[in-house]
């Protein structure tokens, strides 16, 4: 891919997505301009080139992003670099002081932005104008007490001071998503609901406060999810991306009724934590997520019927096949919660054996189809 003299290439960062190219040529003789919006990752460059060629003086603009003091943000990664050209830093977000140069990030050569003084404060949701989370509606956000427009790459915060608690993401960019830096939901008295287009970001979703966050969006880019307090509920078809979900003691994760046990997210239960997992229907086999624990004192309380219709490996990291298996346990605290499997556990179903032992429950085989009623015997003929 080439950007010719006086040309301009604008890149909006979308979570962990990356644009890979074999060759990336900036300028033909005099140089060109590259622009980056929603910059937030300190590990992943938005553009990855096997070979980077620089001709002339090439300007790099950083339009927006969540930029922390002392952090390095890779913009272009490359294997080899050619040409006699140069790069120069152009515009950067207001309040930010930074330098641009070559840097090695995670063992990869990059052109990166080094932030001397950052802007990593948060836009606080007020919802005074509407429930729309977009980049054009005025009056819905403040930053340090001043009204602002949201921009992709900004850190955002949702708390009990807002006027609207049902938030609809409605992007105005080409890709139809919103891409914040980090998201904090801190709510004790009001439940939040996220509807709308996907949320794509590479930072952390942090849930604090004792109330609930219901996620009805199909999200693609959460780097990690920290469930520090309260409850996260997934609506039908919703997702949290693929980052690790860490559940602190006393927190709850409520799954949708879409028919799967767990999403693709790995789930981590810290040492000594007792957490709750449930669903609006029976929890069936999951897709790819795994569950692990900090030590042998971790407990998962499952408050829904569990129906395993095939061998499942999701609890294998949580329930160790060793002498300490009884210590890490899944607890079924209500009589209505039962472990149901299509076939009895056996030596060929090691995963069932681990789960039955750790849950301290007998297996309950799925009921056989009901038999048709027997016909009444006719009285003998006279």
Burial class (CB in 10 A: 0-12, 13-18, 19+), 161: middle
Indicate the pTM of the whole model: 0.63
Q: Hey, which residues does 276 pair with through a beta bridge?
A: 252, 301
Q: Hey, which residues does 102 pair with through a beta bridge?
A: 111
The pLDDT assigned to 360 comes to 37
Between CA 312 and CA 277 the distance in angstroms is 17
Contact status, residue 142 vs residue 159, Cβ threshold 8 Å: no
The pLDDT assigned to 182 comes to 85
CB proximity list for 59: less than 8 A, separation 6 or greater? 31, 32, 33, 34, 87, 88, 89, 90
Structure tokens at 165: 């608690």
Q: Hey, which residues does 109 pair with through a beta bridge?
A: 78, 104
Helices vs. strands in the chain: H and E counts, helices first:
1, 34
| Distances from the Cα of 211 to the Cα of 30, 227, 344, angstroms | 57, 12, 40
Tens of pLDDT, residue by residue over 350-381, are 343 344 434 433 333 334 444 444 444 455 55
Tens of pLDDT, residue by residue over 289-332, are 567 666 666 777 766 655 544 444 555 555 544 433 333 445 44
Between CA 101 and CA 96 the distance in angstroms is 16
Structure tokens at 54: 């620089």
CA terminus-to-terminus distance, the chain? 98
More confident residue, 329 or 178: 178
CB proximity list for 302: less than 8 A, separation 6 or greater? 276, 277, 278, 283, 330, 331, 332, 337
**Exposure string (b/e) for 239-259, b if CB count within 10 Å is 16 or more?**
bbbbbbbbbbeebbbbbbebe
Q: Provide, rounded to the nearest whole percent, the portion of the chain with pLDDT above 90.
A: 35
**Other Cβ atoms within 10 Å of 55 Cβ, number:** 22
The residue whose two tokens read 């890779």 is 74
Contact status, residue 109 vs residue 78, Cβ threshold 8 Å: yes
The pLDDT assigned to 278 comes to 76
Between CA 57 and CA 65 the distance in angstroms is 24
The residue whose two tokens read 């300490």 is 324
- Average pLDDT rounded to a whole number, residues 152-157: 87
The lowest-confidence range among 9-13, 43-47, 51-55, 261-265 is: 261-265
Q: Which residue ranges make up each domain of the chain? A: 2-117, 122-365
More confident residue, 37 or 58: 58
The answer on pLDDT for 138 being more than 90 is yes
The lowest-confidence range among 49-53, 216-220, 262-266, 328-332 is: 328-332
The pLDDT assigned to 142 comes to 92
The pLDDT assigned to 16 comes to 58
Output the CA torsion 141→142→143→145 (10° steps). Answer: -170
The lowest-confidence range among 19-28, 144-153, 174-183 is: 174-183
CB proximity list for 78: less than 8 A, separation 6 or greater? 24, 48, 49, 50, 51, 52, 109, 110, 111
Between CA 291 and CA 86 the distance in angstroms is 48
H or E stretch covering 264: none
- DSSP letters, 86-100, are EEEE----TT-EEEE
């Amino acid at each position: 891919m080439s950007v010719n003299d006086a040309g301009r290439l604008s890149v909006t960062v979308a979570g962990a997505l990356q644009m890979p190219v074999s060759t990336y040529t900036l300028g033909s003789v005099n140089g060109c301009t590259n622009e980056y919006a929603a910059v937030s990752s300190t590990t992943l460059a938005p553009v990855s080139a096997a070979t980077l060629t620089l001709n002339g003086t090439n300007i790099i603009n950083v339009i927006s992003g969540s930029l922390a003091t002392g952090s390095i943000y890779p913009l272009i990664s490359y294997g080899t670099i050619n040409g006699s050209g140069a790069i120069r830093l152009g515009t950067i977000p207001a309040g930010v002081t930074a330098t641009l140069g070559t840097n090695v990030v995670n063992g990869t050569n990059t052109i990166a932005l080094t932030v001397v003084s950052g802007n990593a404060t948060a836009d606080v949701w007020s919802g005074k104008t509407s429930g729309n989370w977009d980049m054009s509606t005025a009056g819905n956000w403040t930053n340090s007490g001043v009204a602002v427009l949201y921009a992709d790459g900004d850190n955002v915060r949702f708390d009990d001071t807002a006027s609207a608690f049902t938030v609809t993401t409605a992007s105005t960019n080409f890709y139809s998503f919103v891409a914040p830096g980090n998201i904090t939901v801190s709510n004790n008295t009001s439940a939040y609901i996220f509807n709308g287009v996907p949320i794509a970001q590479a930072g952390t979703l942090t849930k604090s406060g004792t109330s609930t966050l219901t996620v009805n969006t199909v999200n693609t880019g959460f780097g990690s999810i920290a469930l520090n307090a309260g409850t996260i509920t997934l609506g039908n078809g919703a997702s949290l991306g693929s980052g690790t979900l860490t559940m602190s003691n006393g927190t709850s994760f409520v799954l949708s009724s879409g028919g799967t046990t767990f999403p693709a997210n790995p789930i981590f239960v810290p040492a000594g934590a007792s957490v709750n997992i449930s669903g609006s229907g029976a929890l069936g086999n999951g897709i790819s997520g795994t569950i692990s624990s900090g030590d042998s004192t971790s407990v998962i309380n499952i408050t829904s019927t569990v129906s395993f219709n095939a061998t499942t490996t999701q609890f294998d990291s949580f329930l160790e096949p060793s002498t300490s298996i009884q210590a890490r346990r899944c607890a079924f605290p209500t009589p209505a919660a039962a472990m149901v499997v299509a076939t009895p556990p056996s030596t060929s179903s090691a995963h069932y054996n681990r789960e039955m032992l750790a849950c301290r429950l007998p297996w309950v085989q799925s009921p056989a189809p009901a038999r048709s009623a027997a016909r009444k015997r006719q009285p003998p003929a006279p």
